[in-house]
Structure 1
C-alpha cells in the first residue's frame, strides 16, 4: 500500500522537481501517492502546511526559517532535506523606470552596483520634484524576493523602507500590476518575468544570480515532528525528487519536462517560457534582446538540491538587518538547522559540489565575504539597515 501525501505548491518553475516527481511517476516508484495542490499565495501554502493540511510544501527558503523561528507567525519548526532551486529570480522594471535608470547610470547598468546607484539618483530626482515614491512588488516579507530587492537597493544607497514602497503580491499577479502601472518594478521567480517581457510591459534589469552567485530559493519542507514520525517516507520523498531533478537537468528531456510543467493544474504558461528558464537563456527586453546565465536557475546540478546551512545563516542575517528578527546565537543555530544536508546524504548520497561555487557559499556582488558564524560583523558593514 502506497503512502498518500498532499504537497502544496505555487505555479513557479522552481516547482519543477515536485511536478516531475509526481507526474513522471518517480514518487510512485518510491511507494508514494502524491497529490499536488496548487495555491495562489505563500500565505496560503504556509498556513495549510502549518496546520497539517499539507504533509510537505514548496516553500520559500526564508519562510521556512521564519516559521522555525516563530517570526511573523506562529512557530512551527520545519526542516528540509531537499532544495528545489538555487537562484531563479529576476528584477523587472517598467520601460519608463528602465529608461530613467539608464539615463542616470555612471556605467553599464548590467552591473547591479551601477544600476543601484542610478536608482538612488532617480529616487532623489523624484523626491525633489515632489513625485510619489516608486513602488516595487515582492512576493512575501520572508522571501528571497524581498531580500533581493533590499540588497540591491541598499548597495546602491537606496533605503527600501524610506525611499521607495515595497508591497506584497502573489507571483501570478505581478504582471497585471506592472501593466496597470500599480508597480514600477518587481522581483519574482520564473516564469513571471518572462511573461512581462513577452507582453512588452517590462525589462529584466537583473537576474538575481547577478547579485548573489548562489542563493537558496525554494525548499521541499516538512514539519520537524512529521519528519520524526515518518523517517522512511521522508527518505523516499527525497530520493524521488533527486531523481526528478536529475531528469530535469538532462537537456534531452527538456521538451517533455516543459510539457509536464505547463499541463493543466500546474504552471499553465507557454512551454517556450519554461524552456527559456531551464536553459538560462531569457529575453530581457521587448525587442528580443537575450541574456544567458549558466546559474540563472539551478534545479539539481552543482549540488543545488543539497541543503546548505550557510543559506539558513544568510537568510537569518537578512531578517536581522531589516528589523524582522533580533540577533541571537540561538536563533542563528535554529536557522541553520532548517537546512539538513545529512538527510539528503542519507537518502541519495553526497552530491558533487559546483566547481565554480563561491568560497563563502553565497558570492555577493559587492565582493564582501559572508561568515555564517559572524552575523554581527557582516551587518556592521551595512550602511543601510534597521
Structure 2
C-alpha cells in the first residue's frame, strides 16, 4: 500500500532532490506517493508546515531554527533530519552599482573579502542607500550577506536596506527599480544576469565553501509519531540526491525542474547552477565552479548539529535572539543526525561518526572517520578564515567584537 505525503516547496533549483524523488520513482519504490505543493513565499510555506497542512517542507535552514526558537510567527518545535543541499545562491547587483567594483569578474569572485571592501566604498557613490533583496530574514543567504558586509565595516541594519521578498519576485523587483540587487537561491540570480539587469558580486559558495542551505523540515511531534514514513522518505531522498549530483543527469534534471510544476524557468538557466558553469555578466563566457551546488557528495545530506549552532550564533550576533544555554540547546536539537543514521542504518551510505565538527577548519579534501565506507569532506572554509567551534560559541561571538 502506498503512503501519501504532502511536502511544501518554493520554486528554486534546490528543490531538485524532492522533484527527482517523485519524478524518477525513488519515493514510489519506498512506498510513498509524494504530493509536492508549490508555494509562493517562505512565510506561507512556514505556516503550511506549522499548522499541519503539509507533513514536511523544503525549508530555509535558519527558518527551521528560528521557528523552533519562537522567532517567526507561531512557535513550533521543528526537526530537520536531512539537508537537501549546500551552496547554490549568489549576490547580484545592478550593473551601474557593480561598475564601481573590480571589473575582472574572476578576481572579484575569487576574493570575497576584497570585494566586500569595494562594495563598502561603492555604497557611498550610489544614488541612494542600496536596497538589497533577501528572501527571508531567517535565510542562509541573509545571514551570509550580513556576515560578508560586516567584514568590511558595513552595518547591514544601518548602511543598506534589506528588503524581504519571495525569490520568484526578485527579478521583477529589479525591473521596477524597487531593489538594487538581491541574494537568493538559483535560478533567480542567473535570471537577473541574463535579463541584463545585474552582475554577480559574490557566490555563496565563496563566502562559506560548504554553506548549509535548505533542509527537509518536519514538525517534531509528527516526526516522532511516524518513524517508518520518515525513514522511507530519507532513503528515497539519498538515492535521489546521488542521481541529482551525477553530471550525466543534469540535463534531464534541468528539464524536469523547468516545468511549470516546479521552477517554471528555462532549462538552460537552471542547468548552469547544476553544472557549476555560471554566467556572471550577460554575454560573457561562464565561470567554472564545480562546487556551486551540492546535493549528495561529501555527506551533503548529513545534518551536522554544529551547522545548526553556527546559524544560532549568527542569530545571536545580530540580536535576533538572546544567548542562553537553553536557546543553544533548542537550536542544536533542530538538526537530527540520529534520525538520519536510523533511516540509513541498513544501507551502504557512508556516514560521519560524529554529529558535530569544527566549521570552517577544512582547507582541502579530508578523509574522516565514518560508520561505514570511505568518506571525504570537502573544503568548508569561511571567506575570512574564522573557525566556528560549536562548544565555544561565546568565544566565537566575542572575537567579532575584538576584531571590529
Asked if TM exceeds 0.5, the reply is: yes
Give 1:1-386 correspondences, 5 Å limit: 1-102=1-102, 108-110=107-109, 111-126=111-126, 131-349=127-345, 350-351=349-350, 356=365, 362-383=380-401
CA distance in structure 2 between the partners assigned to 1:385 and 1:70 by the alignment: 31
**8 Å CA contact retained: 2:303, 2:335:** yes
The Cα of 1:72 is off from its aligned counterpart by 2.6
**Once the two structures are superposed, what CA deviation does each residue of 1:300-344 show, in whole Å capped at 9, x if it has no partner?**
111111111111001001100111100111211211111112211
In structure 1, the residue corresponding to 2:216 is in which secondary structure? strand
The Cα of 1:71 is off from its aligned counterpart by 1.3
CA distance in structure 2 between the partners assigned to 1:71 and 1:361 by the alignment: 32
Greater RCO (CA < 8 Å, at least 6 residues apart): 1
Between 340-349 and 52-61, report the one with greater CA deviation.
340-349
The Cα of 1:102 is off from its aligned counterpart by 3.1
CA distance in structure 1 between the partners assigned to 2:96 and 2:401 by the alignment: 29
**Once the two structures are superposed, what CA deviation does each residue of 1:270-293 show, in whole Å capped at 9, x if it has no partner?**
111221111111100012232222
In structure 1, the residue corresponding to 2:100 is in which secondary structure? helix
Between 158-167 and 178-187, report the one with greater CA deviation.
178-187
**Once the two structures are superposed, what CA deviation does each residue of 1:337-383 show, in whole Å capped at 9, x if it has no partner?**
11112211222245367972699985211101111122221111224
Q: TM-score, normalised by structure 1?
A: 0.93
Give the direction of change, closer, same or farther, for the CA distance of 1:251–1:361 in structure 2 (3 Å limit). Answer: closer
Give the direction of change, closer, same or farther, for the CA distance of 1:96–1:125 in structure 2 (3 Å limit). Answer: closer
Give the direction of change, closer, same or farther, for the CA distance of 1:246–1:121 in structure 2 (3 Å limit). Answer: same
The Cα of 1:108 is off from its aligned counterpart by 4.2
Segments of structure 1 that go 5 or more residues without pairing to the other structure are none
The Cα of 1:101 is off from its aligned counterpart by 2.6
Size of the aligned set, in residue pairs, is 380
Q: TM-score, normalised by structure 2?
A: 0.89
CA distance in structure 2 between the partners assigned to 1:56 and 1:141 by the alignment: 21
**8 Å CA contact retained: 2:208, 2:383:** yes
CA distance in structure 2 between the partners assigned to 1:270 and 1:160 by the alignment: 33
Note the aligned Cα RMSD (angstroms): 2.2
CA distance in structure 2 between the partners assigned to 1:384 and 1:331 by the alignment: 24
Give the direction of change, closer, same or farther, for the CA distance of 1:266–1:230 in structure 2 (3 Å limit). Answer: same
In structure 2, the residue corresponding to 1:382 is in which secondary structure? helix
**8 Å CA contact retained: 1:362, 1:370:** no
Give the direction of change, closer, same or farther, for the CA distance of 1:341–1:361 in structure 2 (3 Å limit). Answer: farther
**8 Å CA contact retained: 1:119, 1:158:** no
**Once the two structures are superposed, what CA deviation does each residue of 1:191-210 show, in whole Å capped at 9, x if it has no partner?**
00111111111111111110
CA distance in structure 1 between the partners assigned to 2:378 and 2:235 by the alignment: 27
| 4+ residue segments displaced more than 4 Å | 352-355, 357-362, 383-386
In structure 1, the residue corresponding to 2:350 is in which secondary structure? coil
Segments of structure 2 that go 5 or more residues without pairing to the other structure are 353-361, 367-375
CA distance in structure 2 between the partners assigned to 1:372 and 1:205 by the alignment: 30
The Cα of 1:147 is off from its aligned counterpart by 0.7
